[in-house]
A and B are shown apart, each in its own frame.
Chain A
Amino acid sequence: MTESVLSGAIMSSLSTLSEGVRMFATAAGWQSAVMMAIAGLLLYLGVKRQVEPLLLVPIGFACFIANIPLNDLMEGNGVLRTFYTMGIVNELFPLLIFVGIGSMIDFSPLIANPKTILFGAAGQLGIFSTVAIALALGFDQRQAVCIGAIGACDGPTVIYVANKFAPELLGTLSVAAYSYMALVPVLQPPIMRALTTKKEREVQMPSGDAKINPTILVLFPLLVTLLIGLIAPKGLPLMAMIMLGNFMKVTGVVNRLTKASENEIANICTLLLGLAIGGTMQGEQFLRLQTLLIFALGLLAITVDTAGGIFLGKIWYWLSGGKVNPLLGAAGISAYPMAARLVHSEGQKYNKNNYLLMRAAAANTGGQIGSIVAASIMLAILHGLHII
Chain B
Amino acid sequence: MNGIDNVTFGVTMVVVGMGGTLLTLWVLTILIDVIKKIFPVAKSSIK
Contact = CB atoms under 8 A, between A and B. Distances in A.
B25 A117 contact: yes
A373 B24 contact: yes
Contacts of B22: 118, 121-122
B35 A219 contact: yes
Interface in A124-141: 124-125, 127-129, 131-132, 135-136, 140-141
A224 interface: yes
B2 A121 contact: no
Contacts of B27: 227
21 contacts: A114-B33, A117-B28, A118-B22, A121-B24, A128-B17, A128-B18, A131-B13, A132-B13, A135-B9, A136-B6, A140-B1, A141-B4, A141-B6, A141-B9, A211-B46, A220-B35, A224-B28, A370-B25, A373-B20, A385-B4, A385-B9
A205 B11 CA distance: 37
Contact of A381 (B17, B28, B33): B17
Which A-B residue pairs are the 4 nearest by beta carbons? A114-B32, A132-B10, A213-B39, A121-B25
Contacts of B13: 128, 131-132, 145, 148, 378, 381
Given A132-B13, A219-B35, A227-B27, 17 more contacts: A117-B32, A118-B25, A118-B26, A121-B18, A128-B18, A129-B14, A131-B10, A132-B10, A132-B14, A136-B10, A141-B1, A216-B39, A219-B39, A227-B31, A232-B20, A380-B20, A385-B2
A386 B18 CA distance: 20
B17 A378 contact: yes
Contacts of B31: 223, 227
In the complex, which of the residues B10, B28, B31, B40 has the most CB atoms of chain A within 10 Å of its own CB atom?
B28
Question: Helix, strand, loop or mixed for chain A's interface?
Answer: helix
A227 B29 CA distance: 12
Contact of B32 (A111, A128, A129, A228): A111
Contacts of A220: 32, 35
A213 B42 contact: yes
A120 B18 CA distance: 11
Interface in A25-81: none
Interface string A199-226: 0000000000001110110011001100
A127 B16 CA distance: 12
A144 B6 CA distance: 10
A374 B17 contact: yes
A254 interface: no
Contacts of B45: 211
B45 to A, nearest CB: 6
A381 B16 contact: yes
In the complex, which of the residues A128, A220, A374, A387 has the most CB atoms of chain B within 10 Å of its own CB atom?
A128
Nearest to A110: B32
A323 interface: no
B29 A115 contact: yes
A377 interface: yes
Given A118-B22, A125-B18, A227 B4 contact: no
A378 B12 CA distance: 10
Contacts of B9: 135, 141, 385
Contacts of A140: 1
Contact of A120 (B20, B25, B33, B42): B25
A171 interface: no
Contacts of B29: 114-115, 117-118
A268 interface: no
A135 to B, nearest CB: 4
A118 B22 CA distance: 7
Contacts of A118: 22, 25-26, 29
